[in-house]
Amino acid sequence: MSSSENDLYEDKVSDPRNLEMRRASGRVNDPRPIVGFLYLLVRDHLPIGTVEQLIRDSALSDGDESEFTNGWVANYAQHGADRLGVER
């Protein structure tokens, strides 16, 4: 049995360069849509430091609630979070 037959992830990665990166960086799978969203955001759109600062800025203490000045943007954010399966 070859090593690729033992590799549960290799069949989902067709480009050998991507497979090598996956092997070197750690094989990670996750079923949560929010993880996929953050992954794509950091990989393709924003520096990880920017995303980290946004996470820190938006983290709430237990019982706290965010207050928004723009209801349209807030409604879009709620809709996106709902679509990603983030519980209210």
What are the sequence ranges of the domains in the chain? 1-30, 33-83
Q: Provide φ and ψ at 18, rounded to 5°.
A: -70, -35
Evaluate if residue 57 carries a pLDDT over 60: yes
The model's pTM is 0.75
The confidence score (pLDDT) of residue 42 equals: 97
Banded pLDDT at 61 (limits 50, 70, 90): low
- Token readout for 47 is 């520096």
**pLDDT tens digits for range 3-53:** 554 555 555 777 888 888 888 888 888 999 999 999 999 999 999 999 999
